[in-house]
Chains A and B, each alone.
Chain A
Amino acid sequence: MRSEALIWAAVAAIMGFLFVPIVIIIAYAFSAAPIPSWPITGFALHWFADTWYDDEIRQALTLSVEVAALATVSAILLGTLAAMAVARMKSAAKEVVSFIAVLPIALPGILTGMALASYFAFWGLNLSFWTIVAGHATFCVVIVYNNVIARLRRMPHSLTEASADLGADAFLTFRRVQLPMMASAIGAGALLAFALSFDEVIVTTFTAGAQNTLPLWIFGAIRLGQKLPEVNVVVFAIILFTAVPVLLAQKLIGDSGRVAR
């Protein structure tokens, strides 16, 4: 019993460690001071209005949403196809393909970024909107793939066989049996892929030309020490808007303890 109490005390401390920075960031969004310092002396809401009407931030936000949407759409298509193929494979080929498939999230971001930068340089391609999307899609595909393959592993093969026995062809089986069973896993993967793309900074710096995604704008502003109150508001808003899809995705996965990234 005493050791159980000790474990719970440790859990409480670790949860505090996880949440203090998030609480701090939320508090700073309402701080009146133009330069963040502790303790917060006055509260103000006008930074929210300033942020809302900042054109740079609006452009960055638009770009981020466009990139994340396109990367997510390609991830849904490619990730689901790949998961369905791998789920059908025999052990030897399956091992190799599933090993290679997770490389974009298992290898350091700087490698993906650097590899893409050399690749585009190799072909003499200029960095553009499309190079950002291509870079984001590499890891977004893996997120959807991971979620769908986890679902397929738990889905009995007998169901598709039963469908075939009842006379359905592969396409009908896909539409009426497999897709409905995969749908929530695809949805969860898509939400997480969108969130990851929306937040990505390391790969993006290597694949973006002159454009700023929202994270690139935040990174630049923090580094230069400019517009810090607006940075506070933006990151507060991001935390607010990512918490919702993440909790939703968690419900859709309906499974504990899987790293979805």
Chain B
Amino acid sequence: MQRFLSAFGWRHEGAANAALLGLPAIWFACLYLAAIGALLITSFWTVDSLSGDLIPGFSFTNFQQLLADPTYTKIGLRTIGIAAAVTITDIVLAWPVAFAMVRLAGPRLRAALMAMVMVPLWSSYLARVYAWRLILAHDGLLNWALAEIGLPGLHIGYSNWAMWIVFSYLWLPFMILPVAAAVERIPPSLLEASADLGEHGFATFRRVILPMALPGMVAGAIFTFSLTLGDYVTPMLVGGEGSDFIGNVVYANVGVTNNIPFAAAYAVLPLGVMGVFLLVARRMGAFDAL
């Protein structure tokens, strides 16, 4: 029997692929893809305001409600804006580390730097957000340090600034790793060619390295942008009054008011934004750099 199956699989490659992919595909389609489908379907449902029961159907009520209230537009723009700012910040911060790691460091230092990037990446997310909450608090480390060197204290705890800093901090390793991998893939001969043609230092970086590492940057941007876009914990813990993200509205509508259809309708926004982002990223070759 085993022999027969094996020979059958060898002759019919499609059948062998289907046998391997079958289980994961069914599981993925029935859970993940079906759930995304359910999100889209329930976004057209409504909730009975008295009983709180779900009313299946097809109505644009949730979307009309979202468009009618400028608060939701503002929250959407804030979320996307901060996600974009974080992505740009992380690209700027990732370059020196990625470049030093791949092009300047020896093997031992390189391994050490790699470990130093991996440990924060995998250290507890909540622990790191919480650490920043303590650092940026009014009587926290930052203001203490500023006072020690005779500078006035800053009031950036619980603000959009705090969210920008903390998100940039949280997702920086996600940018460093793909950028470093992309820089590593550039053949040294290209850099030599550039030097032979009389380009030096920064010109080689700008005209050869930077364009060739673009897929790596886009791959990193998928993570920095998407992770910021879909967060609600960081805004809750380090953001102040009026720093809600899309996620906070979604969370509140599921957990507190139990209005799943409305939350689903608002979640369609990040789905759309990321859908477009991913398709563009794929065109730019970012998926090979993941």
Would you call B96 and A10 a contact (CB within 8 A)?
yes
Residues of A within 8 A of B181 (CB): 256-258
> For the complex, would chain A's binding face be called helix, strand, loop or mixed by DSSP majority?
helix
Residues of A within 8 A of B246 (CB): 110
B88 → A minimal CB distance (Å): 15
Given contacts A235-B127, A257-B177, A259-B174, is CB(A108)–CB(B6) below 8 Å? Answer: no
Q: How far is the CA of A111 from the CA of B76 in the complex (A)?
A: 14
Residue in B97, B110, B119, B223 with the greatest tally of chain A CB atoms within 10 Å = B119
Which B residues between 64 and 96 are near A, CB-CB below 8 angstroms?
93, 96
B100 → A minimal CB distance (Å): 5
B169 beta carbon closer than 8 Å to chain A: yes
Residues of A within 8 A of B139 (CB): 37-38
B191 beta carbon closer than 8 Å to chain A: no
Residues of A within 8 A of B6 (CB): 169-171
Would you call A201 and B141 a contact (CB within 8 A)?
no
Which A residues between 90 and 113 are near B, CB-CB below 8 angstroms?
97-104, 106-112
Chain B 114-156: CB-based contact to A (< 8 A → 1; otherwise 0): 1111111111111110111111000111001000000000000
A39 beta carbon closer than 8 Å to chain B: yes
Residue in A24, A106, A242, A258 with the greatest tally of chain B CB atoms within 10 Å = A106
Would you call B115 and A247 a contact (CB within 8 A)?
yes
Would you call B135 and A106 a contact (CB within 8 A)?
no
B237 beta carbon closer than 8 Å to chain A: yes
Which residue numbers of A lie inside 8 Å of B, CB to CB? 3-4, 7-8, 10-11, 14-15, 17-22, 24-25, 28, 36-39, 77-79, 81-82, 84-86, 88-89, 97-104, 106-112, 114-119, 121-122, 134, 137-138, 141, 146, 164, 169-171, 192, 195-196, 199, 201-202, 205-206, 215, 218-219, 222-223, 231, 235-236, 238-239, 242-243, 245-247, 250, 256-259, 261
Given contacts A25-B128, A85-B24, A88-B13, 17 further A-B contacts (CB under 8 A): A21-B128, A78-B24, A84-B20, A102-B290, A107-B274, A108-B227, A111-B230, A114-B250, A118-B35, A119-B31, A202-B232, A218-B127, A222-B126, A235-B126, A245-B122, A256-B114, A259-B178
Contact pick for B118, options A4, A164, A246, CB 8 Å: A246
B59 → A minimal CB distance (Å): 16
B258 → A minimal CB distance (Å): 9
Residues of B within 8 A of A17 (CB): 93, 169, 172
B193 beta carbon closer than 8 Å to chain A: no
Would you call A114 and B116 a contact (CB within 8 A)?
no
Sorted nearest first, the 5 A-B pairs with minimum C-beta distance are A108-B230, A257-B181, A169-B6, A235-B127, A21-B131
B2 beta carbon closer than 8 Å to chain A: yes
A–B pairs, 24, beta carbons within 8 Å:
A7-B96, A8-B100, A18-B169, A21-B131, A21-B169, A22-B120, A24-B135, A25-B128, A37-B140, A81-B24, A86-B21, A107-B274, A108-B274, A114-B267, A134-B31, A137-B31, A169-B3, A170-B5, A202-B232, A219-B233, A235-B130, A238-B123, A250-B115, A257-B180
Residues of B within 8 A of A223 (CB): 236-237
Residues of A within 8 A of B135 (CB): 20-21, 24
B169 → A minimal CB distance (Å): 7
Would you call A195 and B122 a contact (CB within 8 A)?
yes
B162 beta carbon closer than 8 Å to chain A: no
Closest residue of chain A to B226 (Cβ to Cβ) is A108
Which B residues between 145 and 204 are near A, CB-CB below 8 angstroms?
169, 172-174, 177-178, 180-181, 184, 201-202
Residues of B within 8 A of A231 (CB): 130
Would you call B255 and A261 a contact (CB within 8 A)?
no
Would you call A19 and B21 a contact (CB within 8 A)?
no
B201 → A minimal CB distance (Å): 6
Q: How far is the CA of A14 from the CA of B2 in the complex (A)?
A: 56
A191 → B minimal CB distance (Å): 10
Would you call B120 and A257 a contact (CB within 8 A)?
no
B17 beta carbon closer than 8 Å to chain A: yes
Closest residue of chain A to B8 (Cβ to Cβ) is A170
B60 beta carbon closer than 8 Å to chain A: no
A79 → B minimal CB distance (Å): 7
Given contacts A81-B21, A259-B219, is CB(A110)–CB(B127) below 8 Å? Answer: no
